[in-house]
Amino acid sequence: MLTLVHFRLCPFSRSIRIALAELGLDTAFVEERPFEGRPEFLALNPAGELPVLQGPDGLLLCGALSIAEYLDEAARAGGPFQRQSTSTLALPPDAAQRPAFELFPGRIKDRAEVRRLVDWFHRKLDREVTRDLLNEKVYARLMANGGPHAPDADILRAVRANMRYHLRYVSFLADQRRWLAGDDFSYADIAGAAHLSVADYLGEIAWDDHPRAKTWYMRVKSRPSMRTVLADRLAGFPAAGHYANLDF
């Protein structure tokens, strides 16, 4: 069985949780608070970052993109997902009855577009929105062991302005294509939804101002792979009232 070391509000961890669910891979989950810098976790990943995927035969993968690429390449190879005895990974017995799913679908140029958008969400959106939201509204309080913490109003103001920019871009993509990167649901949609789901949990998205982005996100939320993410709750940090609603 695979084991994913994650934090429930980490967008990178969420993206791999969704990907694993889309692939139907049986996975155990171990929660880690990376900001605590535990020596045991640093021994696992010296970068001190999530997620980390462990598996049989010494499989150890660090970072959302490397994990997603590994899962996609293993699926394309065929054998790694079909023969338990010759691989570190295997799909559950009913896999043959399910349609194939690729994290990076299509031709080479299509896969390049998926990777471009993954980079947009995992780097640009994270740098300009998600990281500061989590630092100001979650991590600082957790590091203070529940003590008082007032988020920096200037940082939150900048984050909210950046969020509007990103939602306009998601709206543009959703208006031009069936899914964000093209005709097929892909890891680009997963990465975008993972980051936006964190901001949505914290009540930081004015969806009614961005109806095309909202329609796309509702479609992603309706996928079975999103169920555990939408069920996430962190003690002391209540989710927005509409967070788990598929029609909101």
What pLDDT shows up at residue 54?
Answer: 96
Distances in whole angstroms, Cα of residue 221 to Cα of each of 11, 65, 138: 15, 21, 23
Predicted confidence at residue 84, as pLDDT, reads 33
Task: Extract the residue ranges of the chain whose pLDDT is less than 50.
Answer: 79-88, 90-99
**Structural domain spans, the chain:** 2-97, 108-231
Q: Which CATH number fits domain 108-231: 1.10.630.10, 1.50.10.10, 1.20.1050.10, 3.90.1150.10?
A: 1.20.1050.10
50-71: pLDDT as tens digits: 999 999 889 999 999 999 999 9
pTM over 0.75: yes
Question: What CATH number does domain 2-97 carry, 3.40.30.10, 3.50.50.60, 3.40.50.720, 3.40.50.2000?
Answer: 3.40.30.10
